[in-house]
């Protein structure tokens, strides 16, 4: 009997040792399920890369075994790479109604909606997928319709927490179903996979309602327009803004495609009550400053985001003026500090008041702090615990927390990263052979995957520049028809320097003369071009130590 027939494998393809690209694979026998398929936004130095997805090679290799993708909630780091996965492995997708409503337009953009089977699942329902029985359990988070998954297998139950906090009084939807988590725990849980994002924060994460007093005070003081910029997925926050708009007699204007779309979906699926306060952005100009509150996407200072264009006065329908108030009701994602600072500076140029989370309690995290994580562990009471969703330090500290605070034996807490394979047989857990995974880079302008070599070439062009050497030779004789042409771009100390260009021209000329005329023609153009490239490379490396991209061009006339 094959070992896969009697063991459960848990294989993270992303999201462990990094923030984003959350994707977890479970395999039992000939059946594979995938939990979430997220992306990670690009980092500094990723030239022309907008986002990154997990490496789905493992799933492609075992595509006949993949039964379904199960989504925990609608954030980009959990659903963003779904279209790229479905292009490789077309399987049914399960998720809550709101989550699937957010997924649908993304699939349509990739021409996948008509060929993808979407199965809505409500909290409390169970789906059967191959050897797995998966129950959706309501949890609280910063967006709505979020669930943990209780996955029953022939050798035991695995609980995947998704993103969560213990919010007993959410603004929208139902509270986390603690009693159901405890019932699953009493039945016996082989392993818990739990979010580690906020393990470094003590105490319990407050309810989404904690931001209401500060926002209410802002609405009470404001005389001009109020601009609230938050994540378009923050439906709880958006509902609070609508409630305050009603209380203070303002109309709500939504600006930004993501904001408009998410408000429409949340209202349609029953998670948002706009109370007929929503007006079109094209009617913005018809209202007095004290009559509106604008909900704008682009809270991270994105150059093409709605908030930036409003502050920059380049938005066609909305603008800000002296006396208005700007509220940045979101956390600063690491790496976005400079962009947000530029946005704030741009807002101040309009003589407005800017309020962010450093000045008032207008944001609260959707991820549980230490007390929330303790409550999850105590409710589920797993035999084995696997920290997920976080950089290595969060995973490590989550393990220490479980061992030092809750008395878990270190051998019962498995510290793993993306690509590791956890093998469970119902009694024991061990690490199997690691699989090789790489980041896959995406250019969002064309929704294409970028080759690692292409990215490396872009980096070299950015840091070292390019040298283009062109020569023309006569087809019949192989003789040069003129002096070599040298063009440089971004090559330090050479661009525009005639002496340096002349020196490079001499190097090319010497390399041409080193080849007999017959060999220039009969040896093939590729051979001739490589000969010129190597000559330039050696000279430049010897003289400057630089490694520009060298492009030799041979024209045979």
Q: Is 363 annotated as a binding residue?
A: yes
Distance CA 454, CA 43 (A): 16
Q: Is 171 annotated as a binding residue?
A: no
Q: Is 48 annotated as a binding residue?
A: yes
Give the Å distances, CA to CA, from 496 to 225, 258, 288, 499, 540: 52, 46, 56, 9, 16
Q: Is 367 annotated as a binding residue?
A: yes
Task: List CB contacts of 146: < 8 A, sequence separation 6 or more.
Answer: 72, 73, 74, 96, 138, 139, 140, 162, 163, 164
| Burial class of residue 338 (count of CB atoms within 10 Å of its CB; 0-12, 13-18, 19+) | exposed
The SS3 of residue 216 is helix
Q: Is 78 annotated as a binding residue?
A: yes
HSE-CB for 33 with a 13 A CA cutoff = 21
Catalytically active residues, by annotation: 195, 367
The SS3 of residue 329 is coil
Task: List CB contacts of 210: < 8 A, sequence separation 6 or more.
Answer: 361, 364
Q: Is 75 annotated as a binding residue?
A: yes
- Nearest CA-CA partner of 248 in 229, 223, 273, 220: 220
Q: Is 286 annotated as a binding residue?
A: no
**Consecutive H or E run containing 512:** helix 498-513
Q: How many CB atoms lie within 10 A of CB 129?
A: 20
Q: Is 524 annotated as a binding residue?
A: no
Ranges of H-type helices in 123-234? 178-187, 212-221
Note the Cα 345 to chain centre separation in Å.
Answer: 27
Phi, psi for 543 (deg, rounded to 5): -85, -40
Q: How many CB atoms lie within 10 A of CB 175?
A: 14
Q: Is 141 annotated as a binding residue?
A: yes
Q: Is 539 annotated as a binding residue?
A: no
Q: Is 160 annotated as a binding residue?
A: no
| Residue set of the binding site for Zn(2+) | 73, 75, 77-78, 141, 163, 389
Q: Which residues are annotated as a binding site for Ca(2+)?
A: 48, 50, 443
Q: What residues are designated binding site? A: 48, 50, 73, 75, 77-78, 141, 163, 363-367, 389, 443
């Amino acid at each position: 009997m094959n070992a896969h027939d009697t063991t459960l494998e848990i294989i993270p393809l992303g999201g462990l040792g990094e923030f984003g690209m959350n994707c977890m694979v479970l395999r039992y026998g000939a059946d594979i399920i995938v939990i979430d398929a997220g992306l990670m936004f690009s980092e500094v130095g990723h030239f022309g890369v907008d986002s990154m997805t997990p490496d789905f090679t493992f799933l492609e290799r075992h595509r006949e075994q993949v039964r379904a993708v199960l989504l925990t909630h609608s954030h980009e780091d959990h659903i963003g790479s779904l279209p790229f996965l479905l292009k490789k492995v077309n399987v049914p997708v399960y998720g809550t109604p709101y989550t699937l409503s957010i997924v649908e337009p993304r699939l349509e953009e990739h021409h996948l909606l008509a060929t993808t089977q979407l199965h809505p699942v409500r909290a409390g329902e169970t789906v059967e997928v191959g050897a797995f029985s998966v129950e959706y359990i309501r949890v609280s988070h910063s967006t709505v319709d979020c669930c943990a998954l209780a996955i029953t297998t022939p050798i035991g139950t695995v609980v995947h927490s998704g993103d969560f906090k213990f919010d007993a009084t959410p603004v929208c939807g139902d509270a986390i179903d603690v009693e159901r988590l405890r019932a699953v725990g009493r039945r016996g849980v082989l392993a818990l996979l739990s979010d580690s994002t906020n393990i470094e924060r003590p105490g319990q994460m407050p309810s989404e309602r904690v931001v209401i007093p500060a926002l209410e005070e802002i609405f009470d003081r404001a005389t001009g327009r109020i601009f609230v910029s938050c994540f378009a997925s923050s439906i709880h926050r958006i509902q609070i803004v609508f409630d305050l708009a009603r209380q203070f007699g303002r109309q709500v204007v939504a600006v930004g495609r993501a904001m408009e779309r998410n408000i429409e979906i949340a209202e349609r699926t029953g998670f948002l009550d706009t109370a007929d306060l929503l007006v079109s952005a094209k009617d913005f100009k018809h209202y007095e400053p004290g009559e509106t509150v604008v909900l704008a996407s682009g809270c991270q200072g994105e150059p093409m985001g709605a908030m930036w264009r409003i502050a920059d006065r380049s938005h066609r329908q909305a603008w800000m003026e002296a006396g208005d108030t700007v509220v940045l009701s979101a956390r600063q994602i690491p790496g976005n500090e400079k962009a947000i600072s530029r946005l704030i500076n741009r807002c101040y140029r309009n003589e407005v008041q800017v309020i962010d989370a450093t000045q008032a309690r207008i944001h609260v995290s959707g991820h549980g702090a230490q007390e929330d994580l303790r409550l999850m562990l105590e409710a589920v009471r797993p035999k084995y615990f696997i920290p997920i969703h976080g950089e290595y330090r969060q995973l490590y500290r989550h393990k220490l927390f479980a061992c030092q605070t809750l008395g878990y034996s270190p051998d019962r807490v498995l510290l793993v990263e993306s690509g590791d394979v956890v093998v469970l047989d119902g009694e024991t857990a061990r690490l199997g052979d690691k699989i090789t995974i790489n980041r896959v880079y995406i250019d969002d302008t064309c929704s294409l995957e970028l080759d690692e070599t292409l990215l490396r070439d872009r980096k070299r062009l950015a840091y070292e520049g390019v040298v283009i050497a062109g020569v023309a030779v006569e087809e019949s004789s192989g003789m040069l028809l003129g002096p070599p042409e040298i063009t440089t771009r971004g090559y330090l100390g050479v661009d525009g320097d005639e002496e340096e260009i002349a020196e490079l021209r001499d190097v090319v000329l010497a390399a041409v003369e080193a080849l007999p005329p017959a060999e220039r023609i009969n040896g093939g153009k590729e051979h001739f071009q490589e000969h010129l490239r190597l000559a330039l490379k050696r000279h430049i490396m010897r003289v400057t130590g630089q490694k520009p991209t060298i492009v030799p061009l041979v024209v045979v006339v």
